[in-house]
């Protein structure tokens, strides 16, 4: 069995004065896994993504990501952890006045990569997400599907150890959703670890070999990997 | 860490171009602060010009009793010279008074005003010291005491009028100082509020940078760059305004007809302007940090809506 990249044990989380979102929840994700986090709206998918990405604190338990105990991570050093992950948002979170390549290069600029390396990496990603021709187009002129591809490009450009996607197909039609998942599957085949939070129960069926983690009654229940042949991508 | 200045400056410029009036208003307020501070710092000279010399002086005149002997008059002069109330003293003899009166009479078209000028009593012309304006009641009491002397016919004193005038000029000076302090306070508050508004507008982007792994320094870079650009624009503008206004301070000097120099020298203006630059720059950077923290704390509590 591969080493777990995410190890969550006895997780407790609630927002101030509210009900528990997670009560004694445990799960683990191995390196190279493609995990779907399924749950209805308000079940805690986004909260779990935020906990793993260090945006949200938790009330109890242990969360180890790539060997790092997130509880012991100093707030001033949280950015060093975030540089190891790539996040894809439902609402894309792009800077609309910047071009496609500028948006994709943003994490590299923030991390202090050299201009040459930025150019090489951005071009590689543009080829990967098939947006080479639109690299100089401002994001506000792109369709929703294209914007999500830019968002995915931005999440992978710095070669993260883990990609977190929060409802990445939530704003897309089926055709674009399949395109996004196809891209994720390609990353998965290359050994990338992915966690995709979604309420759409059809999505895991479109990806071969994906694991499913269901948020059920404040706990996390693992459902086995989708079988070969179920993928329709 | 290598700082991507090109990216930071381009983002700041884009933000400024999006809201040029907010930025211009911030620069204008900072310019006014940079302009007013050196004036206040060198203000001792400038504000002194608001008080003409006659408001700082008082005079008195003592006319002798016609029957007073030389000895009695000398005694009175001694009393005055031994007091702290006098600054200069001039004894005007009766003959000189008679000549003055005669000249006055001629100017009114009369040949002679007095039959016998030798009977004209003389007087003492006194310039009172500054103590007289500081303690007008005591000075007046001294004058009253002199008036009761047998050698003295009457005492004409401008103490009450001069002290009242001085008081009014002091009030005007204080009013200007308070007005300047209020003005500075309003301008500084406006710089803070406008800076905070523009920082808050940027927070959504900085929030995204944070999610992408921006360090605490990187998150602040754009805000600090903007704060520095405010100072870089405001200071030279204020310096130009100071040099231009120098000539108007000179007019103030002519207006009151004073001998003292109301205008500040270029060296003084430049020196106080540099001191102001350091004070204002530190203040704006502290305010920038404060505005950043306030905006950031507010921004992480809210869920940004990410639309076009």
CA distance A67 to A161: 12
A56: domain CATH number is 3.40.50.300
* Domain-located, residue A228: no
Q: Does A103 touch chain B (CB under 8 A)?
A: no
Residues of chain B with CATH 3.30.70.3040: 59-157
In total, how many domains does chain A have?
1
CATH topology (fold) of B59-157 = Alpha-Beta Plaits (3.30.70)
Among chain B residues, the shortest Cα distance to A83 is held by B213
* Domain-located, residue A196: yes
Q: Are A166 and A90 in contact (CB under 8 A)?
A: yes
Q: How confident is the model at residue A2 (pLDDT cuts 50, 70, 90)?
A: low
Considering only CB atoms, which chain A residues are within 8 Å of B305? 91
Please give the share of chain A, as a percent, with pLDDT higher than 70. 95
CA distance B142 to B140: 5
What integer pLDDT is reported at residue A164 of this predicted model? 95
Nearest Cα of chain A lies from the Cα of B303 at a distance, in angstroms, of 12
* Domain-located, residue A8: yes
Q: Does A92 touch chain B (CB under 8 A)?
A: yes
Task: State the complex-level ipTM.
Answer: 0.88
pLDDT in tens, A196-207: 999 988 888 888
Q: The tokens 């884009």 sit on which residue?
A: B14
Domain around A90: 4-222
What integer pLDDT is reported at residue B54 of this predicted model? 65
What integer pLDDT is reported at residue B304 of this predicted model? 62
Q: How confident is the model at residue B50 (pLDDT cuts 50, 70, 90)?
A: low
Question: Average pLDDT of A208-232?
Answer: 74
B208: nearest CB among A80, A93, A109 = A93
CA distance A87 to A156: 8
A95: nearest CB among B4, B205, B214 = B205
What integer pLDDT is reported at residue B43 of this predicted model? 59
What integer pLDDT is reported at residue B303 of this predicted model? 64
A97: nearest CB among B4, B14, B306 = B14
Contact B215 A91 (CB under 8 A): no
Residue closest to A88 by CA, chosen among A190, A222, A181: A181
The dihedral region occupied by B199, where left means phi > 0, alpha psi between -120 and 50, and beta the remainder, is alpha
Contact B308 A96 (CB under 8 A): yes
Among chain B residues, the shortest Cα distance to A98 is held by B11
Provide the mean pLDDT of chain A: 88
pLDDT in tens, A47-88: 999 999 888 889 999 999 888 888 888 877 888 888 999 999
Q: How confident is the model at residue B261 (pLDDT cuts 50, 70, 90)?
A: low
Supply the pTM of this predicted model: 0.74
CA distance B11 to A25: 42
What integer pLDDT is reported at residue B53 of this predicted model? 64
Contact A79 B213 (CB under 8 A): yes
Residue closest to A125 by CA, chosen among A34, A206, A186, A209: A186
pLDDT in tens, B3-17: 888 899 999 999 899
> Which of the 8 DSSP states describes residue B65?
P
Provide the mean pLDDT of chain B: 82
> Which of the 8 DSSP states describes residue A138?
B
* Domain-located, residue A227: no
Q: Which residues pair with A8 in a beta bridge?
A: A27, A63
């Amino acid at each position: 069995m591969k080493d777990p990249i995410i190890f969550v044990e006895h997780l407790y989380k609630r927002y101030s004065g509210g009900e528990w979102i997670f009560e004694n929840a445990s799960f683990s994700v191995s390196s190279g896994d493609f995990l779907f986090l399924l749950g209805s709206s308000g079940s805690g998918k986004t909260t779990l993504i935020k906990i793993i990405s260090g945006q949200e604190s938790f009330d109890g338990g242990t969360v180890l990501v790539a060997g790092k105990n997130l509880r012991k991570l100093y707030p001033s050093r949280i950015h060093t952890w975030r540089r190891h992950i790539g996040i894809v948002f439902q609402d894309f979170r792009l800077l609309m006045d910047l071009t496609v390549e500028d948006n994709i290069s943003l994490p590299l600029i923030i991390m202090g990569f050299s201009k040459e390396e930025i150019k090489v990496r951005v071009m590689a990603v543009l080829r990967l997400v098939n947006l080479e021709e639109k690299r100089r187009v401002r994001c506000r002129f792109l369709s929703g599907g294209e914007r999500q591809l830019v968002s995915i490009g931005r999440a992978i450009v710095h070669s993260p150890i883990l990609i977190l996607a929060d409802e990445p197909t939530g704003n897309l039609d089926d055709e674009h959703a399949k395109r996004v998942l196809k891209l994720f599957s390609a990353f998965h085949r290359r050994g990338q670890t992915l966690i995709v939070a979604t309420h759409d129960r059809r999505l895991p069926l479109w990806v071969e070999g994906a694991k499913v983690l269901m948020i059920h009654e404040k706990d996390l229940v693992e459902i086995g990997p989708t079988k070969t042949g179920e993928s329709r991508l | 860490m290598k700082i991507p200045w090109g990216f930071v400056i381009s983002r700041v410029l884009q933000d400024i171009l999006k809201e040029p009036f907010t930025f211009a208003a911030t620069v204008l307020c900072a310019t006014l602060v940079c302009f007013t501070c050196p004036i206040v710092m060198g203000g001792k000279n400038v504000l002194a010009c608001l008080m003409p010399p006659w408001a700082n002086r008082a005079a008195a005149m003592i006319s002798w009793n016609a029957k007073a002997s030389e000895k009695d008059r000398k005694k009175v002069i001694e009393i005055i010279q031994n007091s702290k109330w006098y600054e200069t003293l001039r004894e005007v003899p009766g003959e000189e008074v008679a000549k003055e009166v005669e000249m006055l009479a001629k100017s009114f078209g009369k040949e002679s005003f007095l039959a016998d000028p030798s009977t004209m009593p003389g007087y003492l012309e006194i310039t009172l010291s500054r103590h007289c304006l500081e303690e007008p009641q005591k000075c007046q009491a001294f004058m009253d005491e002199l008036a009761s002397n047998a050698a003295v016919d009457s005492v004409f004193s401008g103490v009450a009028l001069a002290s009242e005038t001085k008081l009014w000029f002091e009030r005007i000076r204080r009013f200007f100082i308070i007005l300047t302090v209020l003005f500075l306070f309003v301008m500084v508050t406006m710089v803070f509020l406008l800076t905070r508004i523009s920082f808050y507008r940027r927070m959504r982007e900085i929030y995204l940078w944070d999610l992408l792994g921006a360090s605490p320094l990187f998150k602040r870079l754009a805000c600090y760059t903007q704060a520095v650009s405010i100072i870089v624009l405001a200071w030279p503008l204020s310096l130009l305004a100071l040099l231009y206004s120098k000539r108007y301070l000179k007019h103030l000097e002519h207006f009151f007809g004073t001998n003292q120099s109301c205008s500040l020298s270029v060296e003084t203006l430049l020196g106080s302007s540099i001191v102001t630059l350091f004070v204002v720059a530190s203040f704006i950077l502290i305010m920038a940090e404060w505005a950043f923290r306030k905006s950031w704390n507010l921004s992480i509590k809210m869920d940004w809506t990410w639309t076009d």
